Amino acid sequence: MVNKMHDLLQLFNQDFVHIHQTSKGKFSIIEKKDGGKGVCDFQSENDVLIIKAKDQNTPLWSLKSKKCAEGAFVVLDKNHQSLSLHIIEMKSKLTYDEFEKVIQQLQGMYLMAFCVISILKLNIPKNIITYVTYKNETVQNKINQDLKRIPKKSIGIKDPVLESWETEKIKLSHNNTAKLIKGIRIDDGNGNFNCDFGMV
């Protein structure tokens, strides 16, 4: 199974889809755009399949939405079958409107990852985790303001964007729901704003 997957990996441009071996230590998803430069670092006890977008556009030309998150990775077991799918989007200031776009970007990368997984003939991971990082956010402020305006007897988050933020769950296609992990980006002193999520 491992050798077969490595043969199929040759179908991909290694700049965008490749295996990171656990023996090499940390791995990163990188944001290169000015104003938002930085990295998200991760570690795993297993090999991971890394999937990166090109210019935040999904290569799935037939999809209506062309939005796509920066990157994703699949944690693999010793037989190189899928254990979990992780999808990452990095922002500077995260507003309500930006978070709405983030959800679409996470959905785009989710679909792209499923295509890569299918081409490599891997099993579909049941555990899906999404990450959004930011320097600061105002989404919570909007929730607080909305709650003040709504009569107490009818309080309840009905806006799907705000519901995703509050419940820390992202609804995806195929009736899948992903856990949402939020991370604050820290200035490294060189103009990069980074986030280290540690072991996954």
DSSP for 132-162 reads: EEESEE-HHHHHHHHHHHS-GGG-----HHH
Q: Which of 5-19, 141-155, 177-191 has the weakest average pLDDT?
A: 141-155
User: Which pLDDT value is given to residue 91?
Assistant: 92
User: Which pLDDT value is given to residue 25?
Assistant: 87
Closest C-alpha to 99, from 163, 31, 187: 163
Closest C-alpha to 40, from 130, 113, 102, 126: 130
CA separation for the pair 146, 129 (Å, rounded): 28
Q: Which of 2-11, 40-49, 122-131, 132-141 has the weakest average pLDDT?
A: 2-11
Residue 12 above 60 pLDDT? yes
User: Which pLDDT value is given to residue 153?
Assistant: 46
Residues across the chain: 200
Residue 107 above 70 pLDDT? yes
CA separation for the pair 128, 173 (Å, rounded): 12
What's the pLDDT band for 41 if we cut at 50, 70, 90? Answer: very high
Residue 100 above 70 pLDDT? yes
Region of 180 (left: φ > 0; alpha: ψ -120 to 50; beta: rest) is: beta
Region of 118 (left: φ > 0; alpha: ψ -120 to 50; beta: rest) is: alpha
Please state, as a whole number, how many other Cβ atoms lie within 10 Å of the Cβ of residue 169. 14
CA separation for the pair 112, 118 (Å, rounded): 10
pLDDT in tens, 64-95: 888 999 999 999 999 889 999 999 999 989 99
User: Which pLDDT value is given to residue 32?
Assistant: 80
Q: Which residues are within 8 A (CB) of 34 and not within 5 positions of it... i.e. 6 or more apart? A: none
Residue scoring higher pLDDT (101 or 191): 101
pTM of the model: 0.91
Closest C-alpha to 29, from 103, 92, 88: 88
* Average pLDDT score over the chain: 89
* Beta pairing partners, 82: 76
Helix (H, G, I), strand (E, B) or coil at 176: coil
Please state, as a whole number, how many other Cβ atoms lie within 10 Å of the Cβ of residue 83. 16
pLDDT in tens, 126-181: 899 999 999 999 898 887 776 665 544 445 557 899 999 999 999 999 999 999 99
Q: Amino acid identity of 121? A: K
